[in-house]
Amino acid sequence: MAVAKQAMQIRLPPLPSIKDIIRLYKLRALRELSQNFLMEPRLIDKIVRAAGNISNNVVCEVGPGPGGITRSIIRQYPRKVILIEKDPRFIPSLELLADACKDKIDLDIITGDILKTNIAHFIPDDAKVDWNDPPPPINLIGNLPFSVSTILIIRWLEMISKQEGPWSFGRTRMTLTFQKEVAERMAARILDKQRCRLSVMCQSWCTVNYKFDIPGSAFLPKPDVDVGVVTLTPLKNALVKQPFKMYEKLVRQIFSMRQKYSIRGAQTLFPEDVSEEMAFKMYKLAEIDPYIRPFQIANGEFSRICEAYSEIIKMYPEFKNYDYRAPKKNVSALVENLE
């Protein structure tokens, strides 16, 4: 009986359909912003259901556009909805939704770039839980623009590693869309043909679940690729103890020569004159076969290699900022210090 009453309290008044909203406000997806509108209500609801029970939760939606996913979120009875939208053209249609659920759901519309927005500022303090507790009643949901999705998830992983932003409240969960190929890479396990740097980075800090595909035909305009929906839940105990930037650099360089022996990519972490010696030293410390290929290395083994890399840097601090792409004259001093 209480549930039925709650449903009546937040039932929205009749609203124009998303297609009508697009026509009414003369909206069109901008290719330069990688915008695609998801038009099918059944698939929109499926994305929101993938987030689990969000009733009475704080939900932050990234890039709501005309508000299709927002409507589905509202119907699940969240405590608060935070909308972060970069494109001001969509604000009137989002304000229409805000007005429709006025006095029923707390809805904030933030005009800004998600890469520059501090989401934590808008989350109520009482939503915070301990990191080792079950995830807090906070969800990040978004149909991400393809152009920023990988940049954004790497930035969020770094925030998770530092327990900052939305993750200062606990192990905040994410339900996000990516290009299907990117989503598959995020979830790819050891030996998978899609396994790459992104696989290792995501899985070292989160449990990654590839939920389902959405055909490109469900979007307007139709993208050239299909879309994958992924959920990420931060791990209680990350597999990595070393600083995020160090780990990301190491994994990136090892995967830079994906089809070769992993030791080849690892050598680019060190000046050319000592690269072979130091790379083999690092693998010996980590007790890893140097002739294994990058996609054959388990997440925990990458962590061991990073521990060994950290030990070498303690012995030779000049290697910390070494960049193999820099002109050789800039790194010659590093080699001289070893002689």
- Say yes or no: 92 and 181 in one domain: yes
CATH number at residue 285: 1.10.8.100
**Whether residue 221 has a cis bond before it, omega within 30° of 0:** yes
Asked whether residue 268 is assigned to any structural domain, the reply reads: yes
Asked whether residue 206 is assigned to any structural domain, the reply reads: yes
Cβ 331 vs Cβ 271: under 8 Å:
yes
- Say yes or no: 214 and 249 in one domain: no
pTM for the model stands at 0.90
Determine the Cα–Cα distance for residues 173 and 322; give it in Å rounded to an integer.
35
Cβ 136 vs Cβ 171: under 8 Å:
yes
Give the end of a domain, one of 203, 234, 265.
234
Asked whether residue 282 is assigned to any structural domain, the reply reads: yes
- Say yes or no: 179 and 273 in one domain: no
Asked whether residue 239 is assigned to any structural domain, the reply reads: no
Give the end of a domain, one of 234, 269, 302.
234
- Say yes or no: 158 and 275 in one domain: no
Asked whether residue 114 is assigned to any structural domain, the reply reads: yes
- Say yes or no: 74 and 202 in one domain: yes
- Say yes or no: 160 and 222 in one domain: yes
Asked whether residue 295 is assigned to any structural domain, the reply reads: yes
- Say yes or no: 9 and 85 in one domain: yes
Determine the Cα–Cα distance for residues 296 and 125; give it in Å rounded to an integer.
43
- Say yes or no: 79 and 18 in one domain: yes
Asked whether residue 258 is assigned to any structural domain, the reply reads: yes
The tens-digit pLDDT sequence of the chain (339 residues) is 344 434 434 666 677 777 777 776 676 655 655 567 788 889 999 999 999 999 999 999 999 999 999 999 999 999 999 999 999 999 999 999 999 988 889 999 999 999 999 999 999 999 999 999 999 999 999 998 888 899 999 999 999 999 999 999 999 999 999 999 999 999 999 999 999 999 999 999 999 999 999 999 888 778 888 999 999 999 999 999 999 999 999 999 999 999 999 999 999 999 999 999 999 999 999 999 999 999 999 999 999 999 999 999 999 999 999 998 887 654 445 444 544
- Say yes or no: 154 and 199 in one domain: yes
CATH number at residue 31: 3.40.50.150
- Domain limits for position 215: 2-234
- Say yes or no: 68 and 128 in one domain: yes
Give the end of a domain, one of 205, 234, 263.
234
Given 3-state DSSP classes, what are the helix, strand and coil percentages for the chain, each rounded to the nearest 5? 50, 15, 35
Element (H, E) at 242: none
Please state the domain count of the chain: 2
Cβ 264 vs Cβ 272: under 8 Å:
no
Asked whether residue 319 is assigned to any structural domain, the reply reads: yes
- Say yes or no: 91 and 202 in one domain: yes
- Say yes or no: 164 and 297 in one domain: no
Q: Reduce the DSSP state of residue 268 to 3 states and report it.
A: helix
